[in-house]
Amino acid sequence: MNIKKFFINKSVLGTKIRKLRGDMTLKELSKQIGTDYRVISRWETGISTPSLDMAWRLAHYFGITIDELLSNQTS
């Protein structure tokens, strides 16, 4: 069985979230996805990563797939 490890580049993910958020404040986004604005700040600064549930909520809110959100590719 060939199992590949999946690593989330926290810096790339944080940059993606900031870019997707655009002019929206952390508090506005936090209300839309049901979390605290400080949690989103930690994602954006690379301190932590969202849970699978929160990643799904982010992806759904921004109209992208979880794969697109968590991919280490920058757009």
pLDDT, tens digit, 9 for 90 and up, residues 30-40: 999 999 999 99
pLDDT at 5: 53
Q: What is the rounded CA–CA span in Å between residue 40 and residue 48?
A: 9
pLDDT for residue 14 is more than 60: yes
pLDDT for residue 7 is more than 90: no
pLDDT at 6: 60
Residue 21 makes CB contacts below 8 A (sequence gap 6+) with: 29
Q: Name the class of domain 10-70.
A: mainly alpha
Q: Give residue-wise pLDDT tens across range 21-72.
A: 999 999 999 999 999 999 999 999 999 999 999 999 999 999 999 999 988 7
